[in-house]
Chain A
Amino acid sequence: MDSAALEPSLYTVKAVFILDNDGNRLLSKYYDPELYPSMKEQKNFETNVFNKTHKADNEIAFLEGMTIVYKSSIDLFFYVVGSAQENELMLMAVLNCLFESLSQMLRKNVEKRTLLDNMDGVFLVVDEIIDGGVILESDPQQVIEKVNYRCVSEQAYGFVLFDYITGNMEAQGERRQLL
């Protein structure tokens, strides 16, 4: 990595992916066609990254010649990958923006189930933050405004269960209508 010269370029992000707590891919985008061109290589890379990072919340790692910044939340793992020479803090800015945007969109329920229920919104958020490896937006507030997405609330199911257990059939009926 003797990389004195980092070619000035807007192409900052090599890849971004979200994995669940078993290391399964929920979403992943690779922006550099030369980096892991095949699906098999991509998944191998993700597995390797997951194995090395899921135990300790260390925020940053260096694997397979790539700088990887990451963050976990309940049963989700968010990763942003850049080249070895990339400014780590730029990658961090992308990761924070991704996480904050999703957190706002999902009303702080950053966990697998809510994420998957709002997968369309998640796709749109990633699309607004990074376009083909270029950082398009880094302010979560802007991202949320641009995506303008209405979250499907998970909360309602919780109430249904509560009502079911407490035998409140009436409330259950109401909620069902609400849904």
Chain B
Amino acid sequence: MIDRSILMCLGSGSNPFQHLEKSAVLQEARIFNETPINPRRCLHILTKIIYLLNQGEHFGTTEATEAFFAMTRLFQSNDQTLRRMCYLTIKEMANISEDVIIVTSSLTKDMTGKEDVYRGPAIRALCRITDTTMLQAIERYMKQAIVDKVPSVSSSALVSSLHMVKMSFDVVKRWVNEAQEAASSDNIMVQYHALGLLYHLRKSDRLAVTKMLNKFTKSGLKSPFAYCMMIRIASKLLEETEGGHDSPLFDFIESCLRNKHEMVVYEAASAIVHMPKCTARELAPAVSVLQLFCSSPKAALRYAAVRTLNKVAMKHPSAVTACNLDLENLITDSNRSIATLAITTLLKTGSESSVDRLMKQISSFVSEISDEFKVVVVQAISALCQKYPRKHSVMMNFLSNMLRDDVSSSKDGGFEYKRAIVDCIISIIEENPESKETGLAHLCEFIEDCEHTVLATKILHMLGKEGPRTPTPSKYIRFIFNRVVLESEAVRAAAVSALAKFGAQNDDLLPSVLVLMQRCMMDSDDEVRDRATFYMNVLQQKQKALNAAYIFNGLSVSVPGLEKSLHQYTLEPSEKPFDMKTVPLATAPITEQKTEIAPMATSKLPEKLAPSRQDIYQEQLAAIPEFQGLGPLFKSSEPVQLTEAETEYVVRCIKHTFANHMIFQFDCTNTLNDQLLQRVLVQMEPSESYEVLHYVPAPSLPYSQPSSCYSLVRLPEDDPTAVSCTFSCTMKYLVRDCDPNTGEPDDDGYNDEYVLEDLEVTVADHIQKVLKPNFGAAWEEIGDEFEKEETFALATVRTLDEAVNNIISFLGMQPCERSDKVPENKNSHVLFLAGVFRGGHDVLVRARLALADGVTMQVTVRSTDENVVDVILASVG
């Protein structure tokens, strides 16, 4: 005895549960059947069982059921703790033991009994083992329990009801009156739980939620948790109703900034910050409470404040400048997360002169912070480079150090973070021509030791694109060819493609590239061999046009579209070869997908290749029988609003262009809850020789359920230059009045119409954007057969930027070679635009702009079709 107690004393850090054996514990559980019950020993055994379950020990169904049934005998004991542990065991075993419902009557007895200590936990255990069918049987008890005067009973019943909403919404919904009563309880937790349950039961009914909010925000709440809940509901409502900042909901949230609980104040500030369309003035009170929190002794509060300020700084850097001093104090915070957030916020709000100092500070502890925050740092740097392009060398050094350190510290993981760095370096290279060579050198160094295939292929693609146009392209060849020797198939294939680009661009490198290609043709992987053979043959032709078409500028079609067309082609055997022009073009050119600066997101979902918007439309339109045989969808425009925002009916139009037709899709929404519209169509009166062939009405348009109707229009065939047209539009429909509550319509209705705004079709609707990564090559490829040139004076335009933006939006073409960015302090600029005209004719535009008293513009157009050239020049003029 003495020895044992000494051992226990000396080894006070050891774990008495450490060497538990499941079988031994289950063996011990037999004493549950002894009479009289020994509460202390039984309690100890139950604790062991729960401990084992908690450690992840697997219990077979039979042994679990056996132990469970033995445990039910312990309900005979009146030891409080033992009974409570029984409830816990029931909850833990609910899913692994069979026939757990045998304890229902014992639990029902406890939940309605005299012992208040048992009642709450018994309810929670009971609801855990109850299914939909049994719920009816205990419904009466649940209703009583919800309004019970003992807070723990009421809370337990409310929370359990909430858990059961998922399982049997309809039953729980019947308890809404009881929940309503509980919401007026004096107990803070009961009120919180009742509000939570009420919201879950009513959230689909916006009116009821609004009423609930009004009631409780007026009478005031006791629990800070309930306030937080209300703030979230209010901001959700505001967002859904697009309510302005004069709404009482906003006033409520703002009033919470003066609550005595920090939790509520923070919730309110965070809600305001996250509101879309919030102006700096509305932000100010929220920012000033966050500023106060920055000097709190509580780390969690400082963290919350600086994290939220960091978000404000993304959209409204000026609103946060007032906090710069407080943030400065946080950059040495011992909590590195807080320090990192403070620095990245300052990088967004501070001036150019403080950049060097902040970067130095963050370098001192960058190795200590978690990957999530490293990504935040990289994103901040990326944003900074756009703001202060002159600082790119500091940034580039910092990034490459981060990349290098990380490679040496951890071989695996950190993918998100490395990808962020690589993306950032690439975007710096694209923004700053001066940084190109250093950037490429850093990337070359990185792929020497990079275990992520995705990153390696991305960098190789980048090298292939930018490398050949640097002063000394030959130095990159070694890095690329090393990949061919050392890496996996995907990387080797990417390296081969990159090599081919060097060969195509630089004549003096061509012989060496051809030698390397020859080696690649002996590769063990068929994709690598195929690519090498293909490029070898193209390169040997030594023709600029071939190089441009097959090496520099890749496919411009939509990949899901191509897949579908090819599948269709194989289903219907035909003599005709497959025609690439029948495939819809890709809509979103790669460069437009700027990495958003917002997310710290580590979304766990695997990224899927989502079908583009246009592919979705293609599918929808193909399902309508009237629109068969129009060929592939060429282009879908952005939606155009044809009504004011706050009218009875909201209509927007999407223009779908086909080879010889256009389909106008009208998305209509009925905002009147006492009307049902039927047979809705939009009648169109064209101003030019456009011909409306067919209307497809929307059969029915109930309140707030959007529906679409369509019009099919044939484009004038005899006059290909008639590209623009104005349609006057009128919506026609049958109105049936209906009961706003039930939606039940009257039997008879009447015809009515509603005038919409005019709809314009412009030249941009006939041109699809296509990115030509190498514009020069594409220019040569098309040749000057149909080249035309004209000079225009743009008198009303004052800056080059404005001129460039006007031309791009007017023609709807894709700017290439980043020529849409006008360098600062220049008086002339050249804009390159590429696109495909309806019918599949490539069209390229080169616009030379000169600034002097307005802008003078010399436009050169090349295309594979003469008409197209005329159309473009005619519409510009």
Chain A positions near chain B (C-beta within 8 angstroms): 1-10, 20, 24-29, 39, 42-43, 52, 56, 58-65, 69, 75, 84, 87-93, 111-113, 116-117, 119-121, 123-124, 127, 131-132, 134-138, 146-150, 154, 157-158, 160-161, 164, 172, 176
Contacts and interface: CB of A to CB of B under 8 A. Distances in A.
Given A61-B370, A89-B301, A148-B80, A8 B233 contact: yes
Nearest to A158: B9
B292 interface: no
A160 B51 contact: no
Given A5-B239, A90-B228, A132-B159, A157 B5 contact: yes
A119 B17 contact: yes
A134 B162 contact: yes
Nearest to A84: B600
A39 to B, nearest CB: 4
Interface string B585-616: 00000000000101111111000000000000
Given A92-B298, A146-B117, A134 B12 contact: no
A63 B602 CA distance: 10
Interface stretch (B266-274, B561-569, B751-759): B266-274
B372 interface: yes
Contacts of A116: 15-17
Contact of A10 (B162, B372, B604): B162
9 contacts: A3-B274, A8-B229, A69-B300, A89-B262, A113-B14, A124-B84, A131-B160, A134-B159, A157-B9
A120 B46 contact: yes
Contacts of B298: 59, 92
B244 to A, nearest CB: 17
A65 B50 CA distance: 29
Nearest to A127: B88
Contact of A88 (B152, B160, B303): B303
A62 B192 CA distance: 27
B232 A6 contact: yes
A123 B50 CA distance: 9
Contact of A148 (B117, B233, B235, B239): B117
Please tell me the size bucket of the interface on B. Answer: 35 or more
B193 A10 contact: yes
A23 to B, nearest CB: 13
Q: Which 8 A-B residue pairs are closest in the complex by CB-CB distance?
A: A10-B196, A39-B56, A59-B299, A8-B232, A65-B602, A89-B263, A58-B335, A88-B304
Nearest to A29: B54
B373 interface: yes
A127 B121 contact: yes
Contact of B51 (A59, A93, A119, A136): A119
A4 B235 CA distance: 9
A131 B84 contact: no
B85 interface: yes
B127 to A, nearest CB: 10
B6 interface: yes
A112 B239 contact: no
Given A64-B602, A84-B600, A127-B121, A9 B5 contact: no
Contacts of B85: 120, 123-124
A25 B81 contact: no
Contacts of B229: 8, 10
A9 B335 CA distance: 30
A148 to B, nearest CB: 6
Contacts of A120: 43-44, 46-47, 81, 85
Interface in B122-140: 124
Nearest to B333: A58
